[in-house]
Amino acid sequence: MTDPALELQPEDALRRVRDGVRLLDVRGDGERAAGMAEGAVGIGLAQLLADPARWLEDPGVETGLICASGVRTRNAVLRLRALGYAGVWSIAGGTRQWAQAGLPMTEAQESPGFLERYSRHLLLPDVGLAGQRRLRDARVALIGAGGLGSPVALYLAAAGVGTLTLIDHDHVDRSNLQRQVLHSEADIGRPKVASARDRLLALNPDLRIEERPVRLAASNVEPLLAGHDVVVDGSDNFSTRYLANDACARLHLPLVYGAVERFRGQASVFWPGPDTPHGCYRCVFPQPPPPELAPNCAEAGVLGVLPGLVGMLQATETLKLLLGIGAPLLGTLLCVDALGMQFERIPLGRDPECPACGKGSAGNSYADLPEVCSAE
């Protein structure tokens, strides 16, 4: 066989493919979701280069490679030819030039808007099309649309989490605007869930926003949180924090915790189960501090960017849980000192006698605590 050129124009490549030459689309799964050249077979470039003999039947057999623009495949062809695979060639301009030439392609697996909006996610092997669809189908309950809830909601909405349930009874106040970036001057006096809804839908109109303009209480905590995949605690008071923890432990839901005060913050993931050493919030903080020692919202203060920092950590942990990737902060309390920009990881254990997740906890009832707030 005559050694083919290093690169072929798409029209020439199509003729070769129709004559029986194998064509490998080496883009990622997410990229291929937009459609593939007629006759192409999908195989990731890393897989191909890791074990060429598995995908290339014989070093002398002609095989075409196609990527998005032709850059990756041209470099791959040089490497493969150096290994003795003289029959491989690349398509000049890749899938982009193939499509521009009007050559036949398979149908896209999602809408153009979906593929364009999440294109950077689709490039990630740990996300890809399957992961992005998983985010679209996910339901996240966000307790609080304030300082912590603002960055969490914005980044989850941007990432494509399909349904966000916003739980907050409060209204927007001018003093909120220093840190609660979901809201603006024009929103002062509006319910926070309504203001947040408008901002999030302006960012991503494909979202489903469920507004719950109520305070989390012993009487409603289970109905509000049940049916979600993850619960994010962006609250500013201990009563809500303990209720959310106790309900998540009983419902077997992961709780993404965050808290801030002045220049310091914390984040963790609590998800106790029968076969895990990881405990819940009560395992770490069995009781709230007495009211006279708890920081007061108006007096303690908080650096405006700190909730943004901790909230972004919460959003990251939420996406990891939904996608099933990485190592969530289970069994770890991540503490941040913004003034020194220092992070500390504190290992956490589990209390076997914990009233929320320990033995004998199933029959315990919920209780509203005195309304003492932190500085969120």
Q: Give the pLDDT confidence score for residue 273 in this predicted structure.
A: 87
Rounded CA separation 334/265 (Å): 8
Asked if residue 74 and residue 18 are part of one domain, the reply reads: yes
Asked if residue 229 and residue 342 are part of one domain, the reply reads: yes
Rounded CA separation 90/168 (Å): 56
Q: Does residue 353 form part of some domain?
A: no
Mean pLDDT of 84-90: 95
Q: Is the per-residue pLDDT at 297 higher than 60?
A: no
Q: For residue 257, give the H/E element and its range.
A: strand 255-261
Asked if residue 288 and residue 204 are part of one domain, the reply reads: yes
pLDDT tens column, 98-117: 999 999 999 999 999 999 99
Asked if residue 195 and residue 81 are part of one domain, the reply reads: no
Q: Does residue 133 form part of some domain?
A: no
Q: What percent of the chain has pLDDT over 70?
A: 95
Asked if residue 157 and residue 233 are part of one domain, the reply reads: yes
CA 75 remoteness from chain centre: 32
Q: Give the pLDDT confidence score for residue 58 in this predicted structure.
A: 87
Instruction: Tell me if residue 310 falls in helix, strand or coil.
Output: helix
Q: For residue 273, give the H/E element and its range.
A: none
20: domain CATH number is 3.40.250.10
Asked if residue 243 and residue 163 are part of one domain, the reply reads: yes
Asked if residue 173 and residue 275 are part of one domain, the reply reads: yes
Q: Does residue 48 form part of some domain?
A: yes
| Nearest alpha-carbon partner for 154 in 74, 79, 209 | 209
What confidence tier does 68 reach under pLDDT thresholds 50, 70, 90?
A: very high
> How many structural domains comprise the chain?
2
Task: Determine the structural domain holding residue 173 and report its residue range.
Answer: 138-347
- Mean residue pLDDT of the chain comes to 93
By the 8 A CB rule, do 24 and 65 touch? Answer: yes
| Nearest alpha-carbon partner for 169 in 236, 79, 242 | 236
Which amino acid, residue 354? C
Q: Is the per-residue pLDDT at 296 higher than 80?
A: no
pLDDT tens column, 125-159: 899 999 999 999 999 999 999 999 999 999 999 99
What confidence tier does 2 reach under pLDDT thresholds 50, 70, 90?
A: very low
What confidence tier does 1 reach under pLDDT thresholds 50, 70, 90?
A: very low
Instruction: Tell me if residue 144 falls in helix, strand or coil.
Output: coil
Q: Is the per-residue pLDDT at 373 higher than 70?
A: no
Q: Is the per-residue pLDDT at 25 higher than 60?
A: yes
What confidence tier does 5 reach under pLDDT thresholds 50, 70, 90?
A: confident
Asked if residue 143 and residue 105 are part of one domain, the reply reads: no
Instruction: Tell me if residue 255 falls in helix, strand or coil.
Output: strand
Q: Is the per-residue pLDDT at 298 higher than 60?
A: no
Other CB atoms within 10 A of residue 279 CB: 23
Q: Does residue 106 form part of some domain?
A: yes
Q: Does residue 56 form part of some domain?
A: yes
Which amino acid, residue 275? D
Question: CA dist 281 to 224, 247, 277, Å?
Answer: 19, 11, 13
Q: For residue 339, give the H/E element and its range.
A: none
Q: What percent of the chain has pLDDT over 90?
A: 86
Rounded CA separation 60/185 (Å): 69
β-strand pairing of 88-91 with 63-66? parallel
Q: For residue 73, give the H/E element and its range.
A: helix 71-82
Least confident of 29-38, 109-118, 298-307, 324-333: 298-307
Q: Does residue 365 form part of some domain?
A: no
Mean pLDDT of 348-357: 94
Q: Does residue 128 form part of some domain?
A: no
Q: Does residue 223 form part of some domain?
A: yes
Asked if residue 209 and residue 92 are part of one domain, the reply reads: no
Q: Is the per-residue pLDDT at 220 higher than 80?
A: yes
Asked if residue 240 and residue 148 are part of one domain, the reply reads: yes
308: domain CATH number is 3.40.50.720
Asked if residue 160 and residue 48 are part of one domain, the reply reads: no
Asked if residue 48 and residue 167 are part of one domain, the reply reads: no
Which is more confidently placed, 274 or 191?
191
